[in-house]
Amino acid sequence: MKRNLQAIWFAGGCFWGLQKFFNLIHGVTDTEVGYINGNTPNPTYEEVYTDTTGYMECVKVLYDTDILDLEDLIRFFFKAIDPTREDGQAGDIGTRYKSGIFYHPGYTSDAAIAQKVHEDVSKEYSVTLHVEIGPVESYYPAEEYHQNYLDKNPGGYCHISPQLYEFAKKANRK
């Protein structure tokens, strides 16, 4: 059976917890953590950690469009972050932990959907949202030891609550 797969990238704090969150959502077929939209080629975690490269930690999410709608996926993302934080999530502070939604360059429909959800969510807040929306300009996968980190290291650091993981398990189950 042919699947209709599409990719989108999300940044929102430490990528370990965000990857686990997306892996639990029905319709997500694969994820990969990496670094997005910085200004140096092939960055290492140590370089990104300095907050001098412009990169954000992110999760590349591959999803089946026959099972999971992009608008729903973006709404789920907004549940996993505090969109009002300009400088990161929870205790994760710095440029590398900023929030964003990134799409393939030229995918104007993805851009429009992300903007629509952002506008809808912004109505729930009385302050400005700090979630960047834009095309992928550069992306590099993170080192292997970061991939599915929380599966390899149960009990490892995570800014996402167990309740949000429970939400993700039930999300998109019709």
The one-digit pLDDT tens for each residue of the chain (174 residues) are 678 999 999 999 999 999 999 999 999 999 999 999 999 999 999 999 999 999 999 999 999 999 999 999 999 999 999 999 999 999 899 999 999 999 999 889 999 999 999 999 999 999 999 999 999 999 999 999 999 999 999 888 888 999 999 999 999 886
The letter for the amino acid at 155 is G
| The predicted structure's pLDDT at residue 168 | 95
- Catalytic, 158? Answer no
In the chain, which ranges are E strands? 5-12, 28-36, 56-64, 88-89, 92-93, 99-103, 131-135, 139-141
Rounded to the nearest 10°, the torsion over CA 21, 23, 25, 27 is 150
| The predicted structure's pLDDT at residue 155 | 86
| The predicted structure's pLDDT at residue 1 | 64
Give the chain's end-to-end CA distance (angstroms, integer): 21
Tokens encoding 51: 């907050």
Cβ 120 vs Cβ 78: under 8 Å:
no
CATH class for domain 5-170? alpha beta
Cβ 134 vs Cβ 110: under 8 Å:
no
**Buried residues in 12-30 as b, exposed as e (16+ CB within 10 A):** bbbbbbbbbbbbbbebbee
φ, ψ dihedrals at 52, nearest 5°: -110, -5
Helix (H, G, I), strand (E, B) or coil at 128: coil
Q: Which of 14, 59, 158, 164 is catalytic?
A: 14
